Amino acid sequence: MSILIDTETRLICQGLTGKAGLFHSQNCRDYAKNECGRSEDFVVGGVTPGKGGSDVDGFPIFNTVEEAVNKTGANATMIFVPPPFCGDAIMEAADAGIKLIVAITEGIPVRDMIKARSYVAHTDSRLVGPNCPGVITPGVAKIGIMPGYIHNPGSVGVVSRSGTLTYEAVWQLGNIGMGQSTAVGIGGDPIIGTNFIDLLEMFQNDPGTEAILMMGEIGGNAEEQAAAYIKENVTKPVAAFIAGVTAPPGKRMGHAGAIISGGSGTADEKIAALQDAGVEVAESPADMGTAVKRAMEK
């Protein structure tokens, strides 16, 4: 079992005709076919307005998401559309009835995301991201830019605000023989579609997940809210790591959402809240994998 992705998932890519869109669509196709043994096509097409009717490396291109859904039965999308147009692309996908929208694009204006998130909230769609690496269920499929082969099928649910930090954690889990049920990057922006609590709930309800690893960072209070949720609702073992103990206040640390403002959003507050909720918090980023093991042995 897993969350978000299963064998019924059929993916399109909005912005497939761009360099990054094509490269990662090919990677997602290859991962599904070569490492997950899927016989039918996982990536069923791409959407780029004005290029409908063409074919790029075997991917049929459509002008609109609606058309792509009608012709391919797609139920998931991966978005690489440039920032000025990406908010609109997210809404188009929701309008077309796409169930899972994964937005990879970094640098979307906040006002556009306020609009897009509010739009998606009134539909049945789920938005993951933006500014995220995507979602992978090892052995089933991946939607995003993460290196597929470092993941292994298993029972640890992984959720994180950061990309490479997630790869690091997955690598560490692999080194101690632990695989993942699903790994989700929720994104480094201040306004995102899916937060820690949504995924904690899904992992708690997923029979294929035995333990959860969450990676947070400075900025906002999503980790504190997650801690409160864990305390009340999560019975599975949870381990965590929080990046940015040494980050100075008032400075944006790469991610648009990673900023300590007005004295709140510090790593120390988040760590304290998680520890209070009984979460095994790794002190060092070298210790994320083993923290999961310790949480399971508690």
Partner 1 sequence: MKIHEYQAKQLLQEAGVAVPRGIVCQSPDDVANAFAELRGELAVVKSQIHAGGRGKGRFREEPDQAGVVLAKSADEARANAEQMLGNTLVTIQTGEEGKKVNTLFVEEGLQIANELYLGIVVDRDTAGPVLILSSEGGMEIEEVAKESPEKILHEPFSAAYGLHTFQAVKLAYRLGLDRQAVRSAAKFLPAICRFFLDNDCSMAEINPLVVTTDGDLIALDAKVSFDENALFRHRNFEELRDLNEEEPTEIQAAEAGLSYVKLEGNIGCLVNGAGLAMSTMDLIKLHGGEPANFLDVGGGANVDQVTEAFRIILADDNVKAVLVNIFGGIMKCDIIVEALLSAYDKVGFSVPLVVRLEGTNVEKAREMLAASGKDLIAATDLTDAAKKVVATLNA
Question: Interface with partner 1 includes 286 (CB under 8 A)?
Answer: yes
Residues numbered 182-201 forming contacts with partner 1, rule: CB under 8 A: 188, 190-191
Binding segment (CB under 8 A) for partner 1, from list 3-11, 44-52, 112-120, 176-184: 112-120
Amino acid (one-letter) located at 42: F
Chosen residue from 76, 79, 102, 165 binding partner 1 by CB under 8 A: 165
Q: What is the DSSP string of 41-109?
A: -SEEEEE-TT-TT-EETTEEEESSHHHHHHHH---EEEE---HHHHHHHHHHHHHTT-SEEEE------
| DSSP E strand stretches across the chain | 11-14, 43-47, 55-56, 59-62, 76-79, 100-103, 126-128, 134-137, 141-144, 153-160, 180-185, 211-217, 238-243, 280-281
What are the structure tokens assigned to 25, written together? Answer: 């669509």
Binding segment (CB under 8 A) for partner 1, from list 7-15, 37-45, 197-205, 217-225: 217-225
Question: Interface with partner 1 includes 166 (CB under 8 A)?
Answer: yes
Residues numbered 49-78 forming contacts with partner 1, rule: CB under 8 A: none
Binding segment (CB under 8 A) for partner 1, from list 49-57, 63-71, 241-249, 272-280: 241-249
Spatial separation of the C-alpha atoms in residues 68 and 52, rounded to whole Å:
9
Spatial separation of the C-alpha atoms in residues 73 and 292, rounded to whole Å:
38
118 versus 233: smaller Cβ distance to partner 1? 118
The yes-or-no answer on residue 122 being catalytic is: no
Chosen residue from 47, 90, 108, 136 binding partner 1 by CB under 8 A: 108
Spatial separation of the C-alpha atoms in residues 87 and 115, rounded to whole Å:
8
Chosen residue from 92, 206, 217, 223 binding partner 1 by CB under 8 A: 217
* Residue ranges that bind partner 1, judged by CB under 8 A: 27, 83-84, 107-115, 117-118, 145-147, 149-150, 160-168, 171, 188, 190-191, 215, 217-218, 220-222, 225, 241, 243-248, 251-258, 262-263, 267, 283-286
